[in-house]
Amino acid sequence: MRILRRTYVWRNLAHENVVKLLGITINFGHTISIVSPLMRSAFCYVQDPNVDPRPLILGIANGLHYLHTHEQGPIIHGGIKGANVLVSDDGHARLTDFGSCCFTEVSLGRVIKGDLQGTLDWMAPEHLRVNADKFTMSTTSDVWAFGMTTLELFTGKRPFVHLQSIPDIIDHIVNKELTRPSIGASFFRLTDEWLSKISELY
């Protein structure tokens, strides 16, 4: 079960940039629910144009480094995006939603493969190329998603908001085309230096 996979990985994680798992419950109906502290998402948090997203971005990077260098072997989150990063009352980023996560072959003796899943705008190119009906989750795809999340938190919008069709978005991702969002969308926060850093993650 997906929820068992989530709790198996999540229960042993202990880091300031990872949301603490409090437990599971069946008190909300007939389905099993995961219980964690209540926080707002990073995407909602940066809608305030006065918010500086850089501390959040650093926190996400620290959280990913913790997962990717875990003592039991690298853990791949598989779903990095603004909605899956929560913000504590004191403004610290916390990674959450480990529904797509997996251990790599180092820790489980195998690489977990699966049908294409995730959110299009944050998917790495290798997940979207022709005949890529199966893919191997990797730390590299997490890094790509981190780059897209960085762009998202600077602009307060999804990465390819200027594109209207799914084929256009896929084409931009596969061909690694990154265009500067409009000034209005970036709230003046996305500098050329940061755009260059994001481009390096492509």
Contacts of 172 (CB under 8 A, 6+ apart): 160, 163
Rg (CA), the chain: 17
Residue 188: its pLDDT value, please? 62
Residue 53, CA atoms < 13 Å, CB-side half-sphere: 31
Residue 100: its pLDDT value, please? 59
pTM, two decimals, is 0.80
Residue 103: its pLDDT value, please? 54
Set out the domains of the chain in order of their start, with CATH numbers.
39-200 (1.10.510.10)
Residue 117: its pLDDT value, please? 46
> Helix 54-68 vs helix 139-155: angle between axes, to the nearest 10 degrees?
170
Residue pLDDT tens, the chain, 202 long: 556 666 777 778 889 999 987 767 776 666 766 667 788 999 999 999 889 999 999 999 999 999 999 888 888 888 899 999 999 999 999 998 875 565 554 443 333 334 444 578 888 888 777 555 556 678 888 999 999 999 999 989 888 888 888 888 888 888 876 666 665 655 567 777 777 777 777 6
